[in-house]
Structure formats: structure tokens, C-alpha cells
Structure 1
Amino acid sequence: MFATGFSRLALALGFAGLLPFVGAAMATWLAPVAWQGVAINAFLAYSAVILSFLGGVQWGVAMSWPSSGHDVMARLVVSMAPSLIAWPALMLHPLSGAWALAAGFVVMRLYELSREGRQPLPAWYQRLRTLLTLVVLICHAAVIWRFMVV
């Protein structure tokens, strides 16, 4: 699945990047009540940062292409979408913000899987992103569910 040293490092770093998602999502349920709000805010902030990071990946891909044609310009536009979803999501009610951020992760993953979005990305990256996105969405579901049982 992840054959090269580079992709193994990416896998390890990707899993390390999941720790704040998993830890904060768990804390929204298990922390003392006084800390659960802090955990929710921390979760949303980290989610916004990582969603914006995914836009940065697309910006980097666009910059690595030699031409300035339609594909590059389209990818540059797509690269801005995550931060334009993430930042306003932090100003919403936390439940609405969690939904917006989850939707942003879905939209980015669908773009990466599209014909245009997957072009220069290696197969190991696609597998890694699918796995990471699945865990991120499960964590979002746990935080959203927390609001439903309060």
C-alpha cells in the first residue's frame, strides 16, 4: 500500500496529524464538563487549520506545473476554497461550524478524486487521503453527535 520511504513517512505524519482530531473529539465526550467547550473549540480550530492545509497542497501542485493554462488557474482557485470555508466556519455556532468543516473535507476529497484533481497526485497519496478523510469525518460526526445528546 505504501511502498516507498517517502510514502511511509507521509503515512506516519498523516496519522500523527489525526491525533488532535481524535483527542479533541474524545475530550468533547470524556473531559470534565467545564473542559468540553474548550475541546470543541480546539477541535474546530484544528479542523479549520487542516482544511486550509489541504488547499495549500493544491496551491503547491499548481505551482509545480510549468504552464499557466486553464488547469493551473482552476487548481489555484480550488486551492483557496478550503480556507474560505474554514475561516467563516469558526464564526458560526460550533454545531454549524462542525457541519461546514466536515462538508469542506468532503468537497476537497471529491475534488482530489475527480479527473482534474487527481492528475499529478501519486496513488499512495490518494489512498492516504481517503483513510485520513474517513477518520476526520468520523471525528466530526462524534463532535456533531455530542451536540445532539446535550
Structure 2
Amino acid sequence: MTGIPRAPLLLGLAGLIPFVWGALTYLNDPLATWGLATFGPRFVGPYVQLFYGSVILSFMSGVLWGFATKASGARAATGYALSVLPALWAFFMTGGGPVSAGLNLIFGFSGLLILDIAFSHWGLAPRWWLSLRVLLTAIVVICLGVGVFL
């Protein structure tokens, strides 16, 4: 963690709040009841995770697109093509109910990590990128797993 700049680390951790909140409200009925009364049904349990997860996968497509701009030739074309996959995955694979959508988001974030590894290997991402992405992905997958497997 020491190699990750403070701003990306703090913002990345803050970006986990909807995933963690969704897992907590799934596991804790009084918290879910309070969240439902305070924020509404879209902001508790797996529903907040599914909506936000789709948004974040789409956002990460944009991040990868930005990394692809550092490449040229065939590597750039490959980077651009790969960068749209997370957004397309989120669009096509998050319907069908909370369990299947949650499972597909787990696959989507796992696949995104593979893309992060590729972009890092190609030297297109900052050195600290993989450390941050592994941490964030692990927490996201665990939180999504609460709604899918419990």
C-alpha cells in the first residue's frame, strides 16, 4: 500500500462504500430496515451493489481507454478494443435478477482485473495500479459474494 499515492488510495477506498453498505444491509436486518426507510429500496442490499457495480465497470472502461491512449499501432487498437469490454459486460450481463446479476458482476470485476494486469504488463498503467486494483477488486468480489452466496 505504501507505493499507492494517497489520493487514488483514499478515493478508491471511498468508492467501496456502496459495495460494503450493500453487504452490511444484506447481513443485518435492522440496518437494512433503517436504510430502506432513510434512502429507499434501491440503496440497500444487493440492489445498491448491482446498480453501482454496473456504473463502476463502465467507469473502468473509460480508465482503460485512457491507458490505451499511451500505446500506438496494434497495441493501441487492442487496448481500445479491450477497454470497452467491462462496459459491454455490465450492460448485457446484469439483468435477470439479483443473484445472476451479482454473479455476473463478480465475473466482470474478475475479468477487469485480468485487463488491469495486461495494461500494467504493457506499461500503460502507473506502477502502483495493480496494487490498488487487487485490493479494490478483492473487497468488491467479497461484498458481491455476500448477496450471491449467502
**TM-score of Structure 1 vs Structure 2, range by shorter chain:** 0.7 to 0.9
1:76 and 2:74 equivalent?
no
Aligned mate of 1:14, from 8, 12, 27: 12
User: How far is the alpha carbon of 1:117 from its aligned partner?
Assistant: 4.6
Under a length normalisation based on structure 1, what TM-score does the superposition of the two structures give?
A: 0.83
**Overall identity of the aligned pairs, in %:** 33
Q: 2:112, 2:49 → 1: CA distance?
A: 19
1:85 aligned to 2:101? no
| Aligned CA distance change for structure 1 residues 131 and 34 (closer, same or farther; 3 Å) | closer
When residues 121 and 34 of structure 1 are mapped into structure 2, their CA distance, relative to the original with a 3 A threshold, is closer
Note if contact 2:94-2:100 (Cα within 8 Å) is conserved in structure 1.
no
Shift of 1:87: 1.5
Alignment coverage as a number of residue pairs:
141
Question: Residue 33 of structure 2 corresponds to which residue in structure 1?
Answer: 32
Distance 1:86 1:96 in 2: 12
Pair 1:2 & 2:33 matched: no
Once the two structures are superposed, residues 8-35 of structure 1 have per-residue CA deviations (whole angstroms, 9 ceiling, x without a partner) of 1100000100111101121122213994
In the alignment, structure 1 segments of 5+ residues that lack a partner are: none
Match status 1:107 vs 2:101:
no
* RMSD across aligned positions (CA): 2.2
Q: Is the 8 A contact 1:89 1:98 kept in 2?
A: no
For structure 2, the residue ranges without an aligned partner over 5 or more in a row are: none
Letter in 2 for 1:27: T
Helix, strand or coil: the match of 1:123? coil
Distance change in 2, residues 1:123/1:99 (3 Å): same
Q: Is the 8 A contact 1:52 1:86 kept in 2?
A: yes
Q: How does 1:48-59 map to 2 (within 5 A)?
A: 48-59=54-65
> Partners of 1:127 and 1:18 in 2: how far apart?
16
Q: CA deviation at 1:63?
A: 2.1
1:80 and 1:117 mapped to 2: Cα distance? 17
Partners of 1:55 and 1:22 in 2: CA distance: 22
Structure 1 CA distance for aligned equivalents of residues 100 and 53 of structure 2: 13
